[in-house]
Amino acid sequence: MKTGIKASRLRRATAVALTTGAVLVTGALAAAPAQAVSAPSIVAKGGYAMNNANGSTLFTKKADTRLSTGSTTKIMTAKVVLAQPNLNLDAKVTIQKAYSDYVVKNNASQAHLIVGDKVTVRQLLYGLMLPSGCDAAYALADKFGSGSTRDARVKNFIGKMNSAAKALKLTNTHFDSFDGIGKGSNYSTPRDLTKIASSAMKSSTFRTIVKTKSYRAKTITKTGSTRTMATWTNTNTLLGSYKGAIGVKTGSGPEAKYCLVFAATRGSKTVIGTVLASSSINQRATDATKILNYGFARLG
């Protein structure tokens, strides 16, 4: 800008116009320092973050690209359960052999639920969201789906997941599983998943669960005695490493790679977002940290 002005000193009017323009541009930058923060570079294939208060976009990278979601799918599983009318979180569910067989067959993450034990819906939600138990997800789908057979109930529950996505007006999301172990048609986008998580976070029960670092359930065995389960540890490493982190859910898989739906609150501001298809457990946390820092810097 200065070079341009010097080169045109003989043209006073032009010089004045250029100088005035420079002052206006400088003034605009000075008036909005939060906007001047450089957007971070992330390894994840897709990323998105928004101001949870009003839904305004803070960060975007291929935010509307459909990608496999892995176990971040379980956010919608929990949301559907918590939206059931007259929900009793203390209702007991008997663990079936089918749930155990399913996780063994798929080599899936599990809460290590024991066949015959009676487990409350609340405990199943912790088992779903902390250790990412696909056995807990199966139990919840079987409990809250409608139908005369287990397959029918599971299909109905997945239908409820898709209905919930439509109710949120999400056009790039489809579920064909209750836990993220899809059959080729289980996908969402960074933007859509963030909106699902933001909606789920309206539930105080959901908020309490996803910010919990560890949980130990006491179940009732076949003989009526109490079993203290091994501790379930939250797979979301941000809870112990990022100031103000309040959730939400990890995901991984051969197709999904490494995913993380994240949220943090500082003061009165909450940033919520998603990274999909990052390269490792550590990298997804690094990607999320970069986006969170950028989001809070933009919010000022």
Helix (H, G, I), strand (E, B) or coil at 235: coil
Q: Which listed residue (132, 177, 188, 198) is catalytic?
A: 132
| First vs last C-alpha separation in the chain | 29
Is 74 part of the annotated catalytic residue set? yes
Q: What are phi and psi of 245, to 5 degrees?
A: -60, 135
Reply yes or no on whether 132 is catalytic: yes
184: left (phi over 0), alpha (psi -120 to 50) or beta: left
Query: Of 61, 74, 160, 249, which residue is the catalytic one?
Result: 74
Contact between residue 248 and residue 79 where contact means Cβ atoms under 8 Å apart:
no
Q: How many CB atoms lie within 10 A of CB 204?
A: 9
* Rounded Cα distance, 136 and 119, in Å: 10
* Active-site position among 68, 71, 109, 199: 71
C-alpha span between 221 and 239 (Å, rounded): 32
Is residue 71 flagged as an active site residue?
Answer: yes
Residue 128 corresponds to which tokens in the numbers above? 């779903």
- Cα–Cα–Cα angle for 49, 195, 120, rounded to 5 degrees: 120
Point out the residues that are catalytic: 71, 74, 132
